[in-house]
Amino acid sequence: MIKHMRTLDGLARHYRRIDPETAITQHFIRKKVITGEIPCVKAGVKRLIAIEGVDEYIKNDGADRQQE
């Protein structure tokens, strides 16, 4: 399966296009990438992040919090 890779800015724009009032910000994504919670691929100075990776993180994190 081909993953849809985006830069940090492109990923934030993707979520704003889907939901203009989204709480998913560049800062949120950057923090999760830096801590390794969301995987990325470095391409020079840029980090490329798969949309599917962020979706999976959000899906699993939400499920984990409901069980607590």
Q: Number of structural domains, the chain?
A: 1
- The domain in which residue 30 lies consists of 5-67
What distance in Å separates the CA atoms of residue 33 and residue 61, rounded to the nearest whole number? 14
Per-residue pLDDT tens digits for 9-47 = 999 999 999 999 999 999 999 999 999 999 999 999 999
* Helix-helix angle 8-18:51-67, to 10 degrees: 70
- pTM here is 0.77
